Amino acid sequence: MRCGRAPEALSSADQLRTNYAYMIRRLQPYPANVQERLTKSPKLYLRDSGVLHFLAGLRRPSDLATWSRRWASFEGQVIEELAGLAASRLVRPEFHFWRTHTGAEVDLLIADGRRILPIEIKTAAAVDRHSIAGLRQCMADLGLRRGWVVTTARERRRFSADIEIIPWEEIAAGEVRLF
C-alpha cells in the first residue's frame, strides 16, 4: 500500500468491517467460578446458514441431509433464532456457551441479569440421559433449576422435572417463553 493511499485503504477496510462484521457470531464461554475448569476459547458461528451451506459446497437440499456437519448448521440456526427472540424480549441478554476441559458442554446459555437458561441443541428427535449429561452437569455446577433441549421433535414434552424438550418449530415460529 502506498502511504498516500492510506486514508482510502483504511476507509475501505472500515467499510469491509462494517459490511461483514455481523456475519459471524462469536460466543464467549460463560465466566463462572466453579470447581470445574472451563474452556476459555470462544465458539464462532456463521450467522447465515445459506452462506454456510454454499461455502460447504452444498447445492441441493439432499446434500444437507448427508452432510457430516449438519449438526453445526442446525446448532447455528437455532442459536440465531433464540438470540433474535431474546434480543426482542429481554433488555440486555447475554449469550454464552459452557464447556469443561473434560468435554461436558452446553451449546447456549441465555443470561438475563441473574437468570440463566441453559440450552442443549440436538438434531435428533430422540433424547436420552447420556445425550444431556453436559446439560445436567452445567445445571448442577451453576445451580440452575431448569434447562431446555431443542430438537427436531414434533411435540413439547418434559424429559424430567427440570428439563424440557422444545421442538425447533416452536422456536422458529417464536412461540417460546424464555423466562
DSSP assignment of 84-109 equals HHHHHHSSS-EEEEEEBTTS-EEEEE
Per-residue pLDDT of 130-159, as tens digits, reads 999 999 999 999 999 999 999 999 999 999
Residue 36 lies in a domain: yes
Residue 3 lies in a domain: no
Q: Which residue has the higher pLDDT, 95 or 47?
A: 95
Cα 143 from Cα 159, distance rounded (Å):
19
Residue 10 lies in a domain: no
Residue 113 lies in a domain: yes
pLDDT at 34: 62
Q: Residues 1-15: what's their mean pLDDT?
A: 50
Q: Structure pTM? A: 0.83
Domain holding 151, by residue range, is 26-172
Q: Which of 142, 141, 159 is nearest to 150 (CA)?
A: 159
Residue 149 lies in a domain: yes
Residue 15 lies in a domain: no
Number of domains in the chain: 1
**CB atoms closer than 10 angstroms to residue 107:** 24
Residue 71 lies in a domain: yes
Residue 169 has pLDDT above 90, yes or no: yes
CATH number reported for the structural domain that contains residue 105 in this entry: 3.40.1350
